Amino acid sequence: MRRAGRYARAAIAKIDLLTDPQGSGADEAWPAPDLSVVVTLYNEERTLEELYRRIVETLGERSFELIFVDDGSHDRTWAIVERLHAVDPRVRAVRFKRNFGQHPAMHAGLARARGELVVTMDGDLQNQPEDIPKLVAALADGTDVASGRRAARHDSWGRTLPSRLINGMLRRFTGVEIADFGCAFNAYRRAAVTPMLGAIGKQKFTKALILSGGASVVEVDVGHAPRAGSSRYSPLRLTRLALHVLAGFWPQPIQWIGIALGAVCSLLATVLLAYGVWFWIAREDFPGPLLGGVAVLFVLGIQGFILALVGEYLGRIQREVEGRPLYSIAEEL
């Protein structure tokens, strides 16, 4: 209660909490907490109040701030955030003008976090707030990142199978042997996050990006509740995510794909030619159109994949050249 009163007096004194559009941090006169909890939100009106209650009950009297980032919600999410901010000065919030994506939203929260330790999580209550102390405790020995690992996932096979494939790709390309790169429920030392802020948000995997910079990591099993509603990751979105991983974390992918394409096409041509010769000898008729059609379709399929990957690179170059911001802010509390 005394801490809340101190915050209230600071608010009455009209201490300016607004940060610049890319998040330079709050006024130094506002007491810095020990822990920052960053929660990304998108149409979470059904879960937000319960999420807030459980976080506050879990952290108790600990010095913390709660940073909500509303990624362009269309429901009453922001109205609920405003009400929570009005009754609890530990609640800070940012609202985007439109939906920019989870990882730009994560950047907005991390850039504003003032605690020496930072916990990130989704706002849909699949992440269990009661696991926050477990993640924070894992950093007590000086480890940089406590990586949440969803030991018992409550997702469909159509969601978990692509996730396993992408996790395997990230382990191969980053050299970091953790099981669950896709879990957004993690704890970081702010010293490990700050050097990577310039790149966070441009990549789809914030945790993989931080770990690729050499941060030490320990995995922590965390709970995973069933999703309220359908998954936001369609097959098309998961395919684009895989292309993003290839372009973002695989060094020199075009060269490797070119080598693989040449090898596979050469092998296929050899097999098809051998089959054609056998067919010609056995039946005195060479099935040229069939073999040619199969070969053309196969090569076109590979070329389509390479074109998609090149498109990912060109899109990144365009965004860098234009210097577009990661997000634009409509309001900030």
Taking only the tens place, the pLDDT of each residue in 202-218 is: 666 777 778 777 888 88
CATH C-level class of 2-233: alpha beta
Q: State which of 72-76, 163-167, 318-322 shows the largest mean pLDDT.
A: 72-76
CB crowding 20-36: b at 16 or more within 10 Å, else e: eebbeebeeebeebebb
Is residue 14 very low, low, confident or very high in pLDDT (cuts 50, 70, 90)? very low
Backbone angles phi, psi at 223, to 5 degrees: -75, 160
Find the range with the poorest average confidence among 11-25, 109-123, 229-243, 285-299.
Answer: 11-25
Alpha helices in the chain (DSSP H): 2-12, 48-59, 77-87, 102-112, 132-137, 157-174, 190-193, 206-212, 235-249, 253-283, 288-322
- The DSSP-derived string for 257-296 is HHHHHHHHHHHHHHHHHHHHHHHHHHHS---HHHHHHHHH
Q: Where are the domains of the chain?
A: 2-233, 253-322
The C-alpha atoms of residue 107 and residue 23 are separated, in whole angstroms, by 9
Question: pLDDT per residue over 18-50, tens digit each?
Answer: 333 344 444 444 678 999 999 999 999 999 999
pTM, two decimal places:
0.67
Estimate to the nearest angstrom the gap between the alpha carbon of 185 and the chain centroid. 10
Mean pLDDT for the chain?
75
